[in-house]
Structures are given as structure tokens and as C-alpha cells.
Chains A and B, each alone.
Chain A
């Protein structure tokens, strides 16, 4: 069974640009969550999508948005990039039931110059 895949793996952008990251969950998983990891703040929850609906959102500005498609694939978008957005963005998937294990993808490393 294929694991969670994320594309692209690496990205370099400049301030003010926007970026879209993609995540394909494990087959059969309907929940996709996104996390940001930085050396200073650690791992922080961005948002979770389940059956194309955002179920929960972390404390990030509106520049961070996402969506989920009918095949459970998810995209995350960051507009007007700032230097502080440089991070490892991790996507995780699960079936979406109560207190289930989330399985992570390899992450996308974003560098904002």
C-alpha cells in the first residue's frame, strides 16, 4: 500500500509570491491534516480536511488556506509569502475516525528568500 506522498519535495520562493503544496493520502483515508515545522516553533497544526470540508483550523493567518478534493487529495496554499514561512510542511492522513493514527508524508521543504 502506498504511503502519503507530497509534492514538490523542495521549493524556493521569494517574498510576496504564493505557493501551492500537494498531498495525496493513503488509499482509503479521508482525513488530511497539515502541519508546519520550524526550528523555533516546532510542529504546529495548520488545518484538517475531512470529506472535502475543513474540520479544524490552527492559529495561522488567512494567507494559509487549503482544500480537499473528492479523491481526498489535498492542497495547501500560502499567499504573499514571508521569510518566516520558510519551514518543513508535513501532511498526514488517517481514516478520520476517533483518535486514529495519522501517517505522515515526507514533507515539503519551503525556503522563502
Chain B
């Protein structure tokens, strides 16, 4: 079974500073994908960044980067130069193959990030 653990229920960061949101995962799949989503109070899940299990380089998307350490089974999200609009819930998710070739996302419980001015 796959499992995602986010140990930080809430995080605070000052505007313009960097912040790291932790994520560890557990899976027996050889091929899998790791995702980070942002969920503002409006409810929509916004895709931020993706890391494939066979990707050797850490993924980056603008101010977002994923610190992928496969041996430690961790996939931490780093947000550089935080902005007030970054305040939201952040979810780490994993997707791997299930029987029958279908896939599903398994989510962590999320981290609520608050950016202070």
C-alpha cells in the first residue's frame, strides 16, 4: 500500500523568505510519480510540480522546486521568495500503478502555509 506523510500541520514564513514543506512516502512500486498541489481557501487543487521516480534531477517550476531524495523516500517542496498569495494548504501526493493498469493519487494530510507580511 502507498502512504504519504506530511508531518507539519502548519508552517509560517515571512514574505520573501524561502520555506520547505516536508513529505515522506512509502511504496513498493518501482515506477511512481510524486506531486505537489496547492489548495487555496476556494477549494480548487492547483498542480505545482511533478517528480518521476526515475528522474535523476530535482524538478523545478519557477519558484517551486522539489528536493527528491529517493533513498530516504522524501520529496520536500521548496518555495523560494514567498509571497502573500502562497498562503494555502499544500498537499503532497503519490501516484503509482495499481492492478489493472489504472492509477490513483494518494494524498498526505496537507500542510497549511501562512505567509506573513
Contacts and interface: CB of A to CB of B under 8 A. Distances in A.
Interface of A: 33, 35, 42-43, 45, 48, 50, 55-56, 58, 88, 90, 92, 98-107, 109
Contacts of B52: 99
Chain B facing A: main interface SS:
strand
Contacts of A105: 44
Contacts of A42: 107-110
Chain A facing B: main interface SS:
strand
Nearest to A35: B105
B50 interface: yes
B57 to A, nearest CB: 17
Interface of B: 31-33, 35, 37, 42-47, 50, 52, 91, 93, 95-98, 100-110
Contacts of A101: 33, 35, 47, 50
A90 B45 CA distance: 8
Nearest to B50: A101
A101 B109 CA distance: 19
Contacts of A99: 31-33, 52, 95-97, 103
Nearest to B49: A101
